[in-house]
Structure 1
């Protein structure tokens, strides 16, 4: 059995080399994060396993990857890049996900974006670099209510961090949950009562567009929105309009419908938006967890598991 890491950054390539063990299935590392789908049939020629970080794998391309049986997707958001159910049903290709590797890293980024948006740091930073002394009025977060939409591992970590600074934590989850110090409420209550709303849902067919224009309109006036999950969970045009009109105080966004963020995107022109480049999960600790889990998948597949 041979595996190919098709789109490794230099950082992840180094981690893969470091964590590989003697006797592991052969792994070819293609250290080019700019891999495009059309490259995959050539890169995967004769390989049974593809490790994919962020390259799309449409069915038309997968059909041309002779011998491909498994995809190890580096994360949980495979549906942003491929159709796992169709790959298995039509081609017999199983897609394996990696969960939990970066829960703390992503929650820390969401926490940081919340603070940056509350204090207007990106706006002041940009103005000062341009030679202007701009001071904005910030929002005090202690004593405020944060609403978490989706409550898995990342949501639990975000709850821990927010409770630690004296915020009230409420949450809504698609399936019933309980957690110490967290009040679970219905979605309408969360949208109306939260001073900060933070998205922590997986992207599925059911959650795509979840935070619609109608739900954005339900947000508490002056609220902040944080998204470190997936850009397609929300209506970007409706969010931009709410920010432009001042109905929302700000947003901290790490993910977008189109990535990299295209030039001229409305978010880039809004001073109340703090932007980061889908980097929430990029820490050395999370990278080690991620690649270690991917290599474990390869070992299990090679062993027939």
Structure 2
């Protein structure tokens, strides 16, 4: 059985090679991370396993990949890149990797929250341009953080936020319990939170879930943080809320279009902090990720 890591950046490729064990299935590494979907058939060349980091796999392209039976997606958000149900109808199973970067993503979410509260990036840009900007920030101790969705990442965010003296409330589709976190209805979370952080998978139920009506229901001057998926948020409504001041600031690591175009409206707003979908990118998380990918490959080969 053969596999291909179709879009490895150099750091992931090095880890993948290091974690290879004798007896592992043969996996060829393509060290060009900037492939296009139409490159899949040639790259795979009949291989049964595709390891995918970030390249979309449309169903019509998958039909052209003779021999492909397994896709190991490096993360949890495969639906942003492919349709697992349609691939299943072709006899292709999609495997996800959960939990590998919970702490890394949580720390990024908290960093975006603190930056949004204090405006450090804006001051940095101003000083570099010769302007001495000194705006009042928001003190987060004693403020309410609302978590939309409560999995492993949100639990880590809660741990950090509780340690910094914030009140933490959360909404989740299924009942959950966590020490010192109060679980509330979605509408109550919107109206009570000074900061809202999104921690949901993208699917048909969550697409556009943070809607225009949600922004209208939020506290005036609230902060929004999104390290989940851009499509969970109504982007146009968010931009309107940022322009009107209904949102004080947004800290965004994910977007509807990635990479974010240089002329995108979000790049023109002073009260937005932009991060290049990198919340999960730490050496520790990458190690966990590739280790789990190899385990998937080993189980498939058996």
TM-score range, shorter chain: over 0.9
2:175 aligned partner: 176
1:234 aligned partner: 233
Correspondence list, 1:1-305, <5 A: 1-89=1-89, 91-303=90-302
**Alpha-carbon offset, residue 248 of structure 1:** 1.1
Q: Deviations over 1:44-103 (max 9, x none)?
A: 1120000001100001100000000000000000000000011002x1000000000000
CA contact (8 A) 2:154 2:199 kept: yes
SS at match of 1:31: coil
Q: Distance in 2 between matches of 1:104 and 1:117?
A: 20
Q: Distance in 1 between matches of 2:16 and 2:8?
A: 9
SS at match of 1:249: strand
CA contact (8 A) 2:141 2:164 kept: yes
Q: Distance in 2 between matches of 1:282 and 1:229?
A: 14
Q: Distance in 1 between matches of 2:29 and 2:215?
A: 43
Q: Distance in 1 between matches of 2:218 and 2:83?
A: 32
SS at match of 1:15: helix
Aligned CA-pair RMSD: 0.6
Count of residue pairs brought into register by the alignment: 302
CA contact (8 A) 2:196 2:222 kept: yes
**Alpha-carbon offset, residue 291 of structure 1:** 0.4
- Any stretches of 5+ residues in structure 1 without a counterpart? none
**Alpha-carbon offset, residue 36 of structure 1:** 0.7
| TM-score calculated relative to the size of structure 2 | 0.99
| TM-score calculated relative to the size of structure 1 | 0.98
**Alpha-carbon offset, residue 195 of structure 1:** 0.2
CA contact (8 A) 2:215 2:246 kept: no
Q: Distance in 1 between matches of 2:212 and 2:252?
A: 17
